[in-house]
Amino acid sequence: MTTSSGPQAGSSRVLGTADAVTVGAAAMIGAGVFAVFAPAADEAGAWMWVALLIAAVVAYCNATSSARLAARHPESGGTYVYGRERLSELWGYLAGWAFVVGKTASCAAMALTFAAYAAPGWSRPLAVAAVVALTAVNYVGVRTSTGLARVLLAIVLAVLAAVAAVGLGGGEADAAHLAIDTHWPGFFGLLGAAGMLFFAFAGYARIATLGGEVREPATTVPRAIAIALLGVFAVYAVVGTAALSVLGHGRLADSRAPLADTVTAAGWPGLTPLVAVGAALASLGALLALTLGVSRTVAAMADDGHLPRALAAVHPRFGGPHRAEIAVGAVVCVIVLVVDLRGAIGFSAFGVLVYYAVTNASALRLGPSENRPPLLVPVVGLAGCLVLAFSLPLQSVVIGAAVVGAGAAVWALRRTVLDRR
């Protein structure tokens, strides 16, 4: 079952495997890697590695389900399309709704994180300026966006390599810090940490949402997802090992800038400004990739009438959904001016887990002739997403559930009006 909708048919298929991997890796290796290990260590203590493994397993299941579905539905929109085609219009809509609202909040979080590192005293105005600038980059074409993302990703990876080198190669590293002790953090502590670490993994969906703009999507998308996920997992494992071996889980949990504290404790305080620059650029790279993916899902939902149809328009020269890009940028700017960073991250995590729950449920509907994954993969992915979503802080769960419920109510109201016509 392969579909093609209006805007997708007009999109330019210009991205190869390397471009798609860049988009996914840039979305995953964002500001999260510079901050996520501290709250994860606070929740799980020395069991952080178990939490990282849980997050990686759930991410692998989601990636596999996404890849198999993308091969059957090679168009922009990601799980919005998969849920619509494999489950029902409602589930596709809810997936798209959760993705758009969750990742729009994540865009605001990335913009605020960039500004906090670059100029703390001017964080909100600078965050708005970053959103406007990157929206303009996306507007002139996806090839320009991936080129910039590749540059940002290379710089960030160089910074992370420096952190890992001084952390693991210095005399302050202590292998005893990596041992799991007898203090059990509780299931909510362990799973809450896994939920936060999963948030740092999320990003390979950006590859699937670009299905209408990659060459040979049936093979390119699954390959790019696998490469990006494995590469990012390796980066997180090495950098997390460096931070934990130098600081120990107690000092790591109390750190506000764990990677900066790692290089300082390892005897290289001169690298702290470099880490700050890396964090700022990582935030820009993630923001670039996130706005790219959100705008494509908005365009797909608009093409089906769930959002104003004007947002589905494709630019005749640049080949992207330019009105959706502008709309997403405008909404992110508004959120940046009023949002609380911690609340935005928690809500975004809930939204993305709901999104991937629908992904795995959709993968369960693939037939034997459609290269479906082993049954255990989507089952574990679905259960893992639901468990991690409801293990997040209570405020994030309540707000996230309320917003998803509001989306369902809007869909039901719209269906009622249409049925009466």
Which range, 105-119, 181-195, 234-248, has the best average confidence (pLDDT)?
A: 234-248
The structural domain count of the chain equals 1
For residue range 71-118, list pLDDT tens digits in order: 788 776 678 789 989 998 889 889 988 988 888 888 888 888 787 777
Name the band, by pLDDT with cuts 50, 70 and 90, for residue 147: low
pLDDT of residue 364: 93
The span from the CA of 63 to the CA of 183, in Å, is 32
Q: Is residue 168 part of a domain?
A: yes
For residue range 388-412, list pLDDT tens digits in order: 999 887 888 898 899 889 988 888 8
Q: Is residue 1 part of a domain?
A: no
Q: Is the pTM higher than 0.75?
A: yes
Judge contact between 201 and 33, C-beta under 8 A: no
pLDDT of residue 143: 54
- Average the pLDDT over each of 14-18, 184-188, 283-287 and give the range with the smallest value: 14-18
How far lies 124's CA from each of 192, 243, 256, 273, 291, in Å? 29, 30, 20, 21, 18
pLDDT above 90 covers a percentage of the chain that reads 13
Q: Is residue 5 part of a domain?
A: no
Q: Given phi > 0 = left and psi -120 to 50 = alpha, else beta, which region is 20?
A: alpha
Q: Is residue 195 part of a domain?
A: yes
CATH code of the domain covering residue 367: 1.20.1740.10
Tally the C-alpha atoms within 13 A of residue 418's C-alpha that lie toward its C-beta: 8
4 pLDDT above the threshold of 50: no
The domain in which residue 280 lies consists of 10-420
CA 55 to chain CA mean position, Å? 13
Name the band, by pLDDT with cuts 50, 70 and 90, for residue 2: very low
pLDDT of residue 379: 95
8 pLDDT above the threshold of 60: no
The span from the CA of 361 to the CA of 355, in Å, is 10
pLDDT of residue 319: 60
pLDDT of residue 7: 43
pLDDT above 70 covers a percentage of the chain that reads 85
78, 89, 68: which is closest to 24 by C-alpha? 78
pLDDT of residue 208: 63
pLDDT of residue 26: 74
Q: Does residue 419 or residue 271 have the better pLDDT?
A: 271
Q: Is residue 98 part of a domain?
A: yes
pLDDT of residue 53: 87
Q: Is residue 2 part of a domain?
A: no
Q: Is residue 399 part of a domain?
A: yes
Q: Cα-flanking dihedrals φ and ψ of residue 315, to 5°? A: -65, 130
H-helix or E-strand containing 415? helix 394-420
How far lies 334's CA from each of 113, 378, 408, in Å? 16, 36, 24
For residue range 263-297, list pLDDT tens digits in order: 999 989 989 888 888 888 888 777 877 787 788 77
